[in-house]
Amino acid sequence: MFIPEHYKNTDTKEIHDFLKNNSFGILINTIEGKPWGTHIPLELSKNSEDKDILVGHIATANLQSKNLVDGDEVLCIFNGPHSYISSSWYKEEEVPTWNYIAVHVYGTIKIQTSEELLRSLHELVDKYEQQSEHPISLNNMSKKTMRQVKGIIGFEIEINDIQAVNKLSQGREHDHQKIIHELDNQGSPEKAVAEEMKKRMP
């Protein structure tokens, strides 16, 4: 993606933390010359060779599943907080803009075996059930329920390239306090952008 140099994020740890905390992404490949996207959890992990990967699964009924082939390159897009920025918050006249955080991951597909898929499903459910008052486990699911696993395919994406952007009013540091104040007086999405800006203030 196009990233002006002053918005580019090259901090690997920060990017990995972002992927872990914003793991619901968009898997994109090409089907018959047209881009195709599916919104799914894509979990950052390591493979047996200690390489960074994304792990996910999609329904076999999804046309995209029939066009995921070992060795193909795909794109995964992850969005973080974003908000409209009014230029009325600036000291000097300027056009309005948008602040946002996003990461694009390019990688190579490897289709999982049924054993690998089941293991990754256990890890996914266990991760997100930690916050539940009464957490469930796939270990306690009936054979009838678990037969639904036959309706999905799992995959790993070995990461080849990561492009990350933090567009947070860089170059307008003299306006940051006013921008943050205005964002803090709005809804949750705007407050999230304000928090990201606060993290980066000197």
pLDDT in tens, 142-189: 999 999 999 999 999 999 999 999 999 999 999 999 999 999 999 999
Angle at CA of residue 64, ends 77 and 55, nearest 5°: 50
Distance CA 154, CA 114 (A): 8
pLDDT in tens, 95-132: 999 999 999 999 999 999 999 999 999 999 999 999 89
Distance CA 121, CA 174 (A): 47
Task: Identify the pLDDT of residue 105.
Answer: 98
Distance CA 199, CA 202 (A): 8
pLDDT in tens, 24-50: 999 999 999 999 999 999 999 999 999
Evaluate if residue 201 carries a pLDDT over 90.
no
pLDDT in tens, 76-96: 999 999 999 999 999 999 999
Give the tokens for residue 126: 């266990």
Tell me the pLDDT band of 60, cut-offs 50, 70 and 90.
Answer: very high
173 secondary structure, DSSP code: G
The radius of gyration of the chain from alpha carbons, rounded to an integer in Å, stands at: 20
Distance CA 24, CA 20 (A): 9
Whole-model pTM: value is 0.93
Distance CA 102, CA 136 (A): 32
